[in-house]
Amino acid sequence: MNLFIESTGFGIVVASILSIAAVGFTLQWGVTNILNLAYVDFMILTAYLDYSLSQVAGLDFWVSAILSVLAVGGLSVAFNHFLIQPFVRRGIKFFYLLIIAFATGTVLQYVIQAIWGSTFFNISVGGNQSYNLGGMLLTESQLIIIGMALFVMVSLHLLLTRTDFGRSMRAVAINPTLAQCSGIRTAVVLNATWFLTGVLCGISGLVLAFNTSTFDVNTGTVYIAPILAAVVLGGIGSPYGAMLAAVIIGLISEWASAFINPFFNVVVALIVLVGVLLFRPEGLLRSLTTSSGGGTS
């Protein structure tokens, strides 16, 4: 029973990290219709940047964190604007876009290795002091991570529902042409969406690195599995679905990891993914883009 409560605690931490990552990913997919396989590589790049800024250049913790997140946000916009959109405008088959994203991710991995080498690094937040919350043993660092996740979720909710930008984003997600006709500057919204999701990507990369004792390039690449699982389970394009799914998958994977085999957290996420794809591909919640009905006439 102890193990169960403990692993539930870890599950909540994992869910927190995953929810930030998954929400960014699902918004990228839902609004711009791109399956960005390079996402996890952008994530880990943020950690590397933060390492260089905070530990090599000696900048303040929060300054380097914010700078690295913003940098990755900018890189995401550049990625979309210079690499993706030109091909989309040409009408390229989605499959080739997939390969391009995949290739970008792989190239990024090797560039990171060329610049920083293949040693493991460490970045962290808060202290190592453990707190016992009803049987769940969480460190100060992990509590901060959970707090960050909650903050991000609430801010995002407010952004999506209360601001013009949020509404524009939803409009572009549902029907880009119509959105353009109603005066929304689609290209601007797309780039802004990529910046926002790039920032989410960066934050999730940082907290992922905070939560693992040491990280290297592979820490990121393996993470695509739970992200995809959460995104598909939650419903592609649905940020709330992604949050909900992240909690589910975070908990299940930690329980599996505790009770079956430490490697099983990834396997469980993937089995969930395959299961959802086969039996309920539309996911749990409806996406930002509500589907239109069947044919007419």
The contact set with other proteins (CB under 8 A) reads: 35, 83, 86-87, 90, 92, 94-96, 98-100, 102-104, 106-107, 109-111, 113-114, 117-118, 221, 225, 228, 232, 261-264, 266-267, 270-271, 273-274, 277-278, 281, 291, 293-297
CB 262 to other proteins: min, Å: 7
Q: Which amino acid is at 5?
A: I
Residue 105's Cα: distance from chain center in Å?
A: 14
CB 83 to other proteins: min, Å: 7
Instruction: Write b or e for each residue in 23-39: b if 16 or more Cβ atoms lie within 10 A of its Cβ, otherwise e.
Output: bbbbbbbbbbbbbbbbb
Q: CB-wise, 259 or 263, nearer to other proteins?
A: 263
CB 291 to other proteins: min, Å: 8
Q: CB-wise, 1 or 278, nearer to other proteins?
A: 278
Is-contact 130 137, C-beta < 8 A? yes
> In angstroms, rounded to a whole number, what is the distance separating the alpha carbons of residues 18 and 176?
28
CB 36 to other proteins: min, Å: 11
Q: CB-wise, 79 or 210, nearer to other proteins?
A: 79
Give kind and range of the element (H or E) at residue 184. Answer: none
CB 284 to other proteins: min, Å: 16
Is-contact 87 97, C-beta < 8 A? yes
> In angstroms, rounded to a whole number, what is the distance separating the alpha carbons of residues 200 and 207?
11
Q: Which residues pair with 224 in a beta bridge?
A: none
Q: CB-wise, 40 or 77, nearer to other proteins?
A: 40
Q: CB-wise, 136 or 237, nearer to other proteins?
A: 237
Residue (of 204, 203, 287) closest to 27 by Cα position:
287
Q: CB-wise, 36 or 142, nearer to other proteins?
A: 36
CB 179 to other proteins: min, Å: 22
